[in-house]
A and B are shown apart, each in its own frame.
Chain A
Amino acid sequence: MSKCCGNINEDAFKPDDPCNPPSHGCTGTNANTNNTADCPVTWFGNMIQNCYDYATDAKSKGKHIVGIMCEYTPRELIMAAGGIPVCLCGGSAEMIPPAEEYLPANLCPLIKSTYGYHVKKANPFLEMSELIVAETTCDGKKKMYELMSLTRNVHVLELPQKPDDEDAMSHWVSQLRDLKAKLEELFNIEITDEKIRQAIRTMNKERQLRRELAELMKSESPALTGRQLLDYKSIISGICADFQQYSKAIDMYKSKKIQSSETSPVRVLLTGVPVVHGAERVLDIIESSNGLVVAMDNCTGLKPILEDVDENADDPIVALAQKYFNLPCSVMTKNDRRMEVLRQMAQDYKPDCIIELIWQACITYDVESYLVKKLAEDELGIPYLRIETDYSPSDSARIGLRVEALFETVRERSTCK
């Protein structure tokens, strides 16, 4: 299954292969695909449209669109149920005022933006969704889903929050079994272990490709920027055409000759909240101030692709539960694993500093930032900067000032060594 994406021949796919999209992608029958197929930059620059075409086409062929809100949700289960998992996290500042008619203003912009799309019915993927799989990763989201469920079909996964408790994993496994039952009932389909394993193989392939791209940033002078890397992702997983483009991108950057610039950029490890599509402002400020985001440990960066799922486990649900439960989200207490991941990333990606992005009113990341700062300064010995903001650009100049001053500090330090 996993090799399907290296193959352009349509006949090579089985109809039920989750890596075989209903019409375009690998098939090359779509004119749009042909035009952009040779350039991964253009392809992913058109990501939302690609996903829209893909989802519309899939829906017309009887497939089910399922919205997801969090990286804890195993896309594999949805794919095994013949569904298309679509990430619905909102990144638009414009969607916040409509949300504030219902939600408190002092809530994280990601929640408000997502909810704004809901009330304005402005996210076509949400409108296409037959089910929304939500999760209890923070109180704000949890309560927002209650309001959303007044008019939409929402299934909430209850995430245990003490990862080291004995019964935590068994509870999480039972939550995934409930989701499986829900999907089977709703779509009137049997989710066999083999179907799950097939989806696991597809997702492992996707994670492997994205990981390989991200690891290019380990280079002393990487061929791409952090922003370019961030754009290499899709709100729908398992699109075969995406896989081809990931491979092309990897080849393209591996063969690219790097010209060394006069002043090498300051290498930044960006941590904290997810940088969802449309809300990349802080990353752009960092990179326009001659910084280079070499790694992001967040949900839109390396966190969800660090580990794969065991393809040969006796019980694939348990295998899924184990992988996903291992995500170091700040909702966990204690969240020691995040510090382990950051330590490892500091070693692998050699950042000069850590910048932590916190969406306003994101209490868990905000409080945990104390520990990240301590890790950066006391243990890793690199400067740390915390940026708390929302989606509105009004504080861009002030953020720019902090980033510039941080970089001046970093450069000053390096001249002293």
Chain B
Amino acid sequence: MICAGIDAGSRTIKVVLIDTESKRIIAKDIIDQGIEQSTLALELFENTLSKSGLKKQDVSFVVATGYGRNAIDFADTTITEITCHGVGVHHLVPDAMTIIDIGGQDSKLLRLDENGKVRDFVMNDRCAAGTGRFLEIVAQRLNVELDSIGKMAAKSKSPSPISSMCVVFAETEITGLLACGASRDDIAAGVQASIATRIAGMAGRRVMAPIVFTGGVALVPEMDNALKSALGHEITISPDPQTTGAFGAAILAARKLNGEHK
């Protein structure tokens, strides 16, 4: 039997199909998010199935997660991305105690108990500082691709201080730094450090190693190092961090099917 997890995030939609028994991944795919997210999610789901020679009827249970989870009408149920990331990471990195998930519009920090269940969590409020969107805006402002931010940051000898707690103001700060002749490398490093500092502030004293980094921003080079210096702990990047939430959703779908939970 096959189960599916769909993670409708703010920037991309992810799908993961797993074998219910072995929890092995059969297929996974990602597309960009758009206005018609329910149609986009359905197309992604159907395309992923057909590439694997499968039909919708072959999938026994679908769990939707992510901020757009309630728009996924072909899902059997919805579960928040907080629980899904917890389950996904615990399955991939069983001894994980803390999860940092940075996505397009959210950053979250989860603490797990020794059984891998979510003990508590914090997430950013209305502001997008400390999220992937912040990095996108900065890349745009520096006129580089998002992927280059990390490489540039790696070259920096003295990261520019970016203290603003608001994306809009941070952008103004960057304009000021550019005007003062700061290098783009230093600014890129400064932005990464500022995101990491925000996460560390959010974490308070609740960080316990091992720490696993998940969500799309974990793919940005050097972000893990920025977090490492802000938190003072080694950071493990979740295997394929962008689909970890969808993977967790698929595992939860399998559990639902097996009646492990209400």
What is the interface of chain A, defined by CB distance below 8 A to chain B? 263, 377, 383-384, 388-389, 394-395, 397-398, 401-402, 404-405, 408-409, 411-413, 415-416
Contact A409 B117 (CB under 8 A): yes
Q: What CA separation (Å) do A383 and B121 show in the bound complex?
A: 10
Residues of B within 8 A of A384 (CB): 120
Contact B117 A405 (CB under 8 A): no
New contact pairs (8) apart from A395-B125, A401-B82, A415-B262, CB-CB < 8 Å: A395-B126, A398-B106, A401-B81, A402-B82, A405-B82, A408-B118, A409-B119, A413-B117
Q: Does B157 contact A (CB under 8 A)?
A: no
A-B contact pairs, 11 of them (CB 8 A): A383-B119, A395-B125, A395-B126, A398-B126, A401-B82, A405-B83, A408-B118, A409-B117, A412-B83, A412-B117, A416-B117
Residues of A within 8 A of B81 (CB): 401, 405
Q: Does B79 contact A (CB under 8 A)?
A: yes
Of chain B, the residue at the smallest CB distance from A360 is B125
Give the tally of cross-chain contacts (CB within 8 A).
51
Of chain A, the residue at the smallest CB distance from B85 is A405
With known contacts A397-B67, A408-B82, A402–B123 Cβ distance under 8 A: yes
Interchain residue pairs A-B with the least CB separation, the first 5: A405-B82, A405-B80, A408-B83, A404-B80, A409-B118
User: Which of A389, A404, A405, A411 has most B Cβ within 10 Å?
Assistant: A405
Q: What CA separation (Å) do A148 and B119 show in the bound complex?
A: 46
| Min C-beta distance of B245 to chain A, whole Å | 12
Which of these, A377, A404, A416, contacts B115 with CB under 8 Å?
A: A416
Residues of A within 8 A of B126 (CB): 394-395, 398
Interface residues as binary, B112-138 with A (CB distance below 8 Å gives 1, 0 otherwise): 000101111101011000000000000
With known contacts A411-B262, A416-B115, A401–B120 Cβ distance under 8 A: no
Q: Does B261 contact A (CB under 8 A)?
A: yes
Q: Chain B interface secondary structure, helix, strand, loop or mixed?
A: loop
Q: What CA separation (Å) do A289 and B13 show in the bound complex?
A: 24
| Min C-beta distance of A378 to chain B, whole Å | 12
Contact A401 B67 (CB under 8 A): yes
Q: What CA separation (Å) do A389 and B123 show in the bound complex?
A: 13
| Min C-beta distance of B88 to chain A, whole Å | 14
Of chain B, the residue at the smallest CB distance from A384 is B120
Residues of A within 8 A of B80 (CB): 401, 404-405, 408
Contact B118 A405 (CB under 8 A): yes
Q: What CA separation (Å) do A415 and B83 show in the bound complex?
A: 15
Contact B118 A412 (CB under 8 A): yes
| Min C-beta distance of B136 to chain A, whole Å | 19
Q: What CA separation (Å) do A416 and B261 show in the bound complex?
A: 10
Contact A377 B120 (CB under 8 A): yes
Interface residues as binary, B80-96 with A (CB distance below 8 Å gives 1, 0 otherwise): 11110000000000000
| Min C-beta distance of B124 to chain A, whole Å | 9
For chain B, the count of residues having a C-beta within 8 Å of the partner chain is 18
Residues of A within 8 A of B82 (CB): 401-402, 405, 408
| Min C-beta distance of A368 to chain B, whole Å | 15
Of chain A, the residue at the smallest CB distance from B80 is A405
Of chain A, the residue at the smallest CB distance from B125 is A388
Interface residues as binary, B219-241 with A (CB distance below 8 Å gives 1, 0 otherwise): 00000000000000000000000
Residues of B within 8 A of A377 (CB): 120
Contact A415 B261 (CB under 8 A): yes
Residues of A within 8 A of B106 (CB): 398
Contact A408 B79 (CB under 8 A): yes
Q: What CA separation (Å) do A383 and B256 show in the bound complex?
A: 24
With known contacts A388-B125, A394-B126, A395-B126, A263–B83 Cβ distance under 8 A: no
| Min C-beta distance of B211 to chain A, whole Å | 19
| Min C-beta distance of A41 to chain B, whole Å | 30
Q: What CA separation (Å) do A389 and B117 show in the bound complex?
A: 27
Which of these, A398, A405, A413, contacts B121 with CB under 8 Å?
A: A405
Residues of A within 8 A of B123 (CB): 398, 401-402
Q: What CA separation (Å) do A405 and B261 show in the bound complex?
A: 16
Residues of B within 8 A of A394 (CB): 126
With known contacts A395-B126, A416-B115, A409–B83 Cβ distance under 8 A: yes
| Min C-beta distance of B221 to chain A, whole Å | 29
Of chain B, the residue at the smallest CB distance from A413 is B117
| Min C-beta distance of B135 to chain A, whole Å | 20
| Min C-beta distance of A396 to chain B, whole Å | 11
Of chain B, the residue at the smallest CB distance from A392 is B126
With known contacts A388-B125, A401-B82, A408-B80, A263–B117 Cβ distance under 8 A: no
Of chain B, the residue at the smallest CB distance from A386 is B122
Residues of B within 8 A of A398 (CB): 106, 123, 125-126
Q: What CA separation (Å) do A409 and B83 show in the bound complex?
A: 8
| Min C-beta distance of A406 to chain B, whole Å | 8
| Min C-beta distance of B64 to chain A, whole Å | 13
Q: What CA separation (Å) do A413 and B80 show in the bound complex?
A: 16
Residues of B within 8 A of A411 (CB): 262
Residues of B within 8 A of A397 (CB): 67
| Min C-beta distance of A108 to chain B, whole Å | 15
Residues of A within 8 A of B261 (CB): 412, 415
Which of these, A389, A409, A412, A415, contacts B120 with CB under 8 Å?
A: A409
| Min C-beta distance of B91 to chain A, whole Å | 15
| Min C-beta distance of B160 to chain A, whole Å | 26
Residues of A within 8 A of B125 (CB): 388-389, 395, 398
Residues of B within 8 A of A401 (CB): 67, 80-82, 123
Residues of A within 8 A of B79 (CB): 408
Q: What CA separation (Å) do A405 and B79 show in the bound complex?
A: 8
User: Which of A377, A401, A411 has most B Cβ within 10 Å?
Assistant: A401
| Min C-beta distance of A268 to chain B, whole Å | 15
Of chain B, the residue at the smallest CB distance from A388 is B125
